Structure 1
Amino acid sequence: MVKAIRVHQPGGPDALVMEDIDLPAPTADEVQIRHAAIGVNFIDVYRRTGAYPAEYPFIPGHEGAGEVIAVGENVKNFKVGDRVAYVGALGGYSEARNIAAGSVVHLPKSFSYEQGAVMMLKGLTAQYLLRRTFKVEKGHRVLVHAGAGGVGQILCQWANALGAKVIATVGSPEKAKIAEEAGARHTILYREENFVERVRDITKGKLCDVVYDGVGRATFPASLDCLKPFGMFVSFGSASGPIAAFDLGLLALKGSLYATRPSLFTHIARRGDYEEMMDDFVHAVKRGFVTLAEPARYALADAAKVHAALESRATSGSMVLIP
């Protein structure tokens, strides 16, 4: 028996219920991991509310880190005692879990379990956004919404290291400081300022090459007005709610723009791509392009409180649950 957080029906934070569950032996292609830390992400909120469907009851959580405690008979690359991290199928909010070995990577000794638990989804999201979706290069002008968030800080750091001019929107002066320390040259207090007008002022009318938007409804379609002709709008989340259907002619009207809604799980579907992306992110950390701060720590039993804070947008940086 292990303790786990389960969701039996869509709802608010109180839908997260701590229960004792049976944990079977791993199947032939799985490893069993005892969690040391579990990553918390906004996709967990989408799952809990039903915005992203799942089969009930389910255990939320797509990333974590810990020690391998059992392996299936077909698993060759991992052994009991290995330090590992993963991003993959639901099941993270638990003391221990089984997961497909293909979703797991070895955790470098230089990374703590807490860093490992939050670098997978957020770090690899930043990697595919900056290096695969729109390849950021020196001189590009980049707008990052929610620049003080977990993904936002990595985007600001890495894009700045690549030589881009980073502008970040944030919700408070305190968050502005966080984004600036992460590498944003300019910050915009979106609750007090018109971010489109500020982008025009900051860029002297040249606008941005790319907008990275994990906010959604609250920043669309205004984000399109921040892009220069042929610029790219990248929607990778919807913290304020999903973007409603829109007339594609809007992209032509605003400068033959590109728009995309990529997903991490598509990018890492092939093991070779997964490993390449992971290597690239670890390399960025080792070169100092990205600094992984130790995340805020909360008990697994406090998952509901963590979700409430996350939904209120009162948080910054990364958070982990500790079993």
Structure 2
Amino acid sequence: MSTTIRFHKYGGPDVLQVEDDRVGEPGPGQVRLRQEAVGVNFIDTAFRQGIFPAPLPSVAGVEGAGVVDAIGPGVKNLRVGDRVAYFLAPGSYAAERLIDASALLKTPDDLSSEEVVTVLTKGLTAWAGLNGFHQLKRGEIVLVQGASSSVGTLIARWAKALGAIVIGTAGSEAKREAIATGVDHALLSGDADLAEQIHCLAPQGVDVVYEFVGKATFAATAAVVRDGGKIVTIGAASGQPAVDQAGLAARGVRVVGGPMAQYAQPSIEKATVAVFDAYRQGVFGDIDVTRYPLAQAAQAHHDIAERRKSGTIVLIP
């Protein structure tokens, strides 16, 4: 039997139910995967709440890594025992699962499954932020609203490594101190004079803002982005913001967002190599990882909702 986390209705973290499933044999084009680590991503909460509708009942999660346990008819590029991972393939909160072989990436021998899910989806999102939604140039001034979030941390550190001047914000003094080593300037997102502080650092405005917070910070974001600059919306931890599209357009400011896969998927080999290389080289620093047993997935979602955790969350089957 396989421990599986399923929701039968949309709602808060408590809709996540622990169930025991019997996972059968893989069908054509599928493999059975024995999972060693499951990544928790912000998008998981959106599926759970019905913001992104999913068929009900549904197994939560989109990212995992483990070992191929059985192979279905027609699968030519994988063998039993291969270590693999995937991103954006719904149904990951499970100890074992069936999955299309086409969704799987072979993982490097020098990285554990936990390390892979720590950086794969979040790293690909960061890669898309720096190479797709916006093509970062050395010397640009970057603002990361929510630089203590899992993806925000990676974008901030990677942008700095690529030669950008990075301003990062965080929601508490402890989180501000935590991001300080990865940015050039660390600020508190809740300060009433946040926009004024940023203008002191970037009098002409910032070139690009990576927005992870949403409603609570967007007014400052709009105020400090330069005319002709760009706002990349990747998350909205405090809720969806009110956006003056006409006002921003009149200043030549572009607001972009959407699934990272539109940029990462066409360049997936290049992107994954870049992510894993950045991880190996220490670009991402010491990633703050919180581990929960798979059966405690609901608690993990509670902690996300209460913003009690920063960094990366991993479920261990």
Give the TM-score of the pair, scaled to structure 2.
0.95
Find the counterpart in structure 1 of residue 255 from structure 2: 259
Q: Secondary structure at the match of 2:80?
A: coil
Residue 294 of structure 1 and its aligned partner are, at CA, apart by 6.4
Residue 293 of structure 1 and its aligned partner are, at CA, apart by 2.9
* Matched-pair contact (CA < 8 Å) for 1:115–1:292: no
> Counterpart of 1:285 in structure 2: which amino acid?
Y
Q: Deviations over 1:111-152 (max 9, x none)?
A: 121111121210100000012221112111001111111111
Q: Secondary structure at the match of 2:238?
A: coil
Mapping 1:142-291, distance limit 5 Å: 142-181=142-181, 183-203=182-202, 205-244=203-242, 246-253=243-250, 255-270=251-266, 273-291=267-285
* Matched-pair contact (CA < 8 Å) for 1:230–1:258: yes
**In structure 2, C-alpha distance between the alignment counterparts of 1:294 and 1:216, rounded to whole Å:** 23
Residue 268 of structure 1 and its aligned partner are, at CA, apart by 4.1
**In structure 2, C-alpha distance between the alignment counterparts of 1:36 and 1:2, rounded to whole Å:** 13
**In structure 2, C-alpha distance between the alignment counterparts of 1:174 and 1:116, rounded to whole Å:** 27
Q: Secondary structure at the match of 1:218?
A: coil
* Matched-pair contact (CA < 8 Å) for 2:127–2:264: no
The range that moved more, 234-243 or 206-215, is: 234-243
> Counterpart of 1:248 in structure 2: which amino acid?
Q
> Counterpart of 1:209 in structure 2: which amino acid?
D
* Matched-pair contact (CA < 8 Å) for 1:114–1:295: no
Find the counterpart in structure 1 of residue 301 from structure 2: 307
**In structure 2, C-alpha distance between the alignment counterparts of 1:40 and 1:250, rounded to whole Å:** 36
Q: Secondary structure at the match of 2:60?
A: coil
* Matched-pair contact (CA < 8 Å) for 1:5–1:59: yes
**In structure 2, C-alpha distance between the alignment counterparts of 1:112 and 1:180, rounded to whole Å:** 28
* Matched-pair contact (CA < 8 Å) for 2:128–2:264: no
> Counterpart of 2:133 in structure 1: which amino acid?
T
Mapping 1:62-81, distance limit 5 Å: 62-81=62-81
Q: Secondary structure at the match of 2:146?
A: coil
**In structure 2, C-alpha distance between the alignment counterparts of 1:307 and 1:190, rounded to whole Å:** 23
Mapping 1:103-114, distance limit 5 Å: 103-114=103-114
> Counterpart of 1:251 in structure 2: which amino acid?
L
Unaligned runs of 5+ in 1: none
Find the counterpart in structure 1 of residue 5 from structure 2: 5
Quick one: which of 271, 287, 290 aligns to 1:296? 290
* Matched-pair contact (CA < 8 Å) for 2:169–2:187: yes
Q: Alignment RMSD, CA only?
A: 1.7
**1:22 and 2:22 aligned:** yes
* Matched-pair contact (CA < 8 Å) for 1:30–1:101: yes
Q: Deviations over 1:11-70 (max 9, x none)?
A: 111101001123232222222211111111111111111111111110111111111111
> Counterpart of 1:312 in structure 2: which amino acid?
E
**In structure 2, C-alpha distance between the alignment counterparts of 1:172 and 1:207, rounded to whole Å:** 24
Structure 1 residues 37 and 87, CA, compared in 2 at 3 Å: closer, same or farther?
Answer: same
**In structure 2, C-alpha distance between the alignment counterparts of 1:210 and 1:290, rounded to whole Å:** 20
Residue 90 of structure 1 and its aligned partner are, at CA, apart by 1.1
Q: Secondary structure at the match of 2:132?
A: helix
Residue 214 of structure 1 and its aligned partner are, at CA, apart by 1.8
Q: Deviations over 1:71-93 (max 9, x none)?
A: 22222222111111110221111
Residue 291 of structure 1 and its aligned partner are, at CA, apart by 3.7
Counting matched residue pairs gives 317
**In structure 1, C-alpha distance between the alignment counterparts of 2:273 and 2:142, rounded to whole Å:** 24
Give the TM-score of the pair, scaled to structure 1.
0.93
* Matched-pair contact (CA < 8 Å) for 2:120–2:275: no
Residue 269 of structure 1 and its aligned partner are, at CA, apart by 4.3
> Counterpart of 1:200 in structure 2: which amino acid?
H
Q: Deviations over 1:252-302 (max 9, x none)?
A: 34x2111111312333444xx222211221232234333463621111111
> Counterpart of 1:220 in structure 2: which amino acid?
F
